[in-house]
Amino acid sequence: MYQLLYYWLNIEGDDLKSKKNILGNKEGWDLMSEEYQVSSDISVEDIHYSPLSFGEKSANLIGNVVGKKYVELGCGGGQNSIALAKLGADVTAVDLSSNQLTHAVSTCRNLGISINLLQANIQTLNYFPNNHFDGIISAFSLEFIEDIGTFFSESNRILKNRGQLILSTTHPLGAFEWDTESKNLLVTNYFNPPVEIWKEQGQISPGFTYFRTMEEIFSNVTENGFTIKKLLEPKPLDLNKELLSPYKGDYWTEFRDRLNAIPFAVVIQAVKD
């Protein structure tokens, strides 16, 4: 069945500052997990890339995964990993948050799905060998990583030759303030996107969400040994098709207008050079 391995207690080599940042993100996600999992309706039948939008069944980014070794970096409740495993991949899923992983464990158990679950920091992937995976998938986790250069060079290292990276992360415009009355986005300085420092109720160390310009994301991928094949800015599905989205629920529907005007995610399909 599933296997849960703990690497968290052995995190070594991260500098103290980075350790403090990940501690806050871990604490925050542990506190947020239950509500997030209840209020988001995340499919285990299709891979999601963006809220209220299409999934892999329409996007066709990944191709045939039967017998291929995939790793999901920042797996949360494990839904994308489970969907990949159902397609026949041999999946390892990594996350920092105990509560997010607990959710993944119980879903795997209920569905009788077998994936390897690992609790670790995804900024440095020193717990994986070189040239090991056929593919990496990561959805809405890069934005919690301070040093994305290291994330991409490490991702490149653990992929086999021509291995693919499928990444979905917050679109830079998603960083800025939405004026609900005028239904307009306020962008005061695109070239200097904010770092959001946040705390859930009862949280001791703050969490950090890092927003990046398109150029910064694009350059960090290509300068770390990848060729970008596709870049998508998904729109929500039409209202009458919204139920087909693998990523929906109350958490997202209140933002429907905004998501229809401003992309929430940037999705990148890249291949190791």
Q: Which residues bind ligand SAM (CB under 6 A)?
A: 22, 25, 29, 42, 74-77, 80, 95-97, 100, 121-123, 139-141, 144-145
Diameter of the chain measured on Cα atoms: 52
Give the residue with the Cβ less far from ligand SAM, 98 or 222.
Answer: 98
Query: Considering beta carbons, is residue 22 or 270 the nearer one to ligand SAM?
Result: 22
Alpha-carbon distance values, 189 to 114, 177, 198, 220, 257 (Å): 46, 11, 21, 21, 23
Least Cβ distance, residue 184 to ligand SAM (angstroms) = 26
Q: Which residues contact 268 (CB under 8 A, 6 or more apart)?
A: 165, 166, 167, 168, 217, 221, 228, 230, 231, 232
Find tokens 């996600």 and name the residue.
29
Question: Rounded to the nearest whole angstrom, what is the least distance from the CB of residue 140 to ligand SAM in the complex?
Answer: 4
Give the amino acid at 95: D
Please say which residue, 96 or 259, places its beta carbon nearer to ligand SAM.
96
Nearest residue relative to ligand SAM (C-beta): 76
Name which of 28 and 161 has its Cβ closer to ligand SAM.
28
CA–CA separation, 167 and 63 (whole Å): 15
Cβ proximity to ligand SAM: between 78 and 163 the closer is: 78
Of 25 and 191, the one with the shorter C-beta distance to ligand SAM is: 25
* SS3 letters across 41-72: EECCCCCECCCCCCEHHHHCCCCCCCCCEEEE
CA angle 97, 98, 101 (to 5 degrees): 85
Closest separation in Å from C-beta 74 to ligand SAM:
4
Q: What's the closest the beta carbon of residue 191 comes to ligand SAM, in angstroms? A: 25
In the complex, what is the shortest distance from the CB of residue 132 to ligand SAM, in angstroms, rounded to a whole number? 18
| Closest approach of ligand SAM to the CB of residue 64, in Å | 22
192 Cβ contact list (under 8 Å, min separation 6): none
